[in-house]
A and B are shown apart, each in its own frame.
Chain A
Amino acid sequence: EIVLTQSPATLSLSPGERATLSCGASQSVTYLAWYQQKPGLAPRLLIYDASSRATGIPDRFSGSGSGTDFTLTISRVEPEDFAVYYCQQYGSSPLTFGGGTKVEIK
C-alpha cells in the first residue's frame, strides 16, 4: 500500500496569499489527484494526473510533481478556498489518500 504524507497539517493564511501544500509518497506514484473538501460536503476533484485541472477549477489552482513528491499551489487564496485538501494516488490498489492539509484563515 502506498502511504501519502501531507504537510503541513494546517496552513494559516490571509486572503491573497500564496498557498503551497505538499504530498509525499512512500513509493513512486503512477497518478496523483488533489481534492478540496469543505465542512459537511463531499470532496471535490481539483487536479488529476498531478497537474491537470478538473473541469471548472480556477487557474489559481495548480499541481506539480512526479515520482514521490507533489505540490498543490493556490496562487492567491480566495475566501472560498479555505478548506481541507487531500492528495490521492490512483493506478495502484488500494487507492490511498493523504491525511489532509487544512487551509485556514489567519
Chain B
Amino acid sequence: QVQLQESGPGLVKPSQTLSLTCTVSGDSISSGSFYWSWIRQPAGKGLEWIGRIYTSGHTNYNPSLKSRVTISVDTSKNQFSLKLNSVTAADTAVYYCARDSAAAGLLDYWGQGTLVTVSS
C-alpha cells in the first residue's frame, strides 16, 4: 500500500520560504514509473496544483507559482520536497503531496495534508 506523509513547519513568517517534505512508503520514487506532485487547498476553497517532479529531476510547475516554487527529489531518502519563497498570507493552505500514476497528472495516492499558516 502506497503511503505519502507531508512534514514541515506549520507556521511561516511573511516573506520567508515555506519548506515541506513528502516521504513515500510502499513504493520507490526511483522506480521511474511515476511523477510526484504538490497540491494546496486554502481553508474552505478548492484545490490548486503547484507542480510535480519526476525521478530524473524533471519538473513541471503551475505558471501562477512558477517564479516562487522549487520542487526537488531525494531518491536515497524516498522523499520529494517543496520550497515556496516570498510567502504571503495568501499562501496559507493545507498542502498535499500526491503520486501521479499516469504521468499525465492522475493523482491516485495522496498524503493526509499539512496545514501551513503564513503569519508574523
Stretch at the interface among A20-28, A66-74, A75-83, A87-95: A87-95
If the complex has contacts A41-B112, A42-B113, are A90 and B102 also in contact, measured as CB distance less than 8 A? yes
Asked if residues B106 and A45 are in contact (CB atoms below 8 Å), the reply is: yes
Interface residues of chain B: helix, strand, loop or mixed (majority): loop
Q: How far is the CB of B78 from chain A (nearest CB, A)?
A: 19
Asked if residues B46 and A100 are in contact (CB atoms below 8 Å), the reply is: yes
Interface residues on B, range: 20 to 34
Q: Across chains A and B, which 3 residue pairs bring their CB atoms closest together, nearest first?
A: A90-B105, A42-B110, A95-B49
Residues of chain A touching chain B, judged by Cβ–Cβ distance below 8 Å, are 1, 30-31, 33, 35, 41-45, 48, 54, 86, 88-91, 93-100
Residues of chain B touching chain A, judged by Cβ–Cβ distance below 8 Å, are 37, 46-49, 60-64, 96, 102, 104-108, 110-113
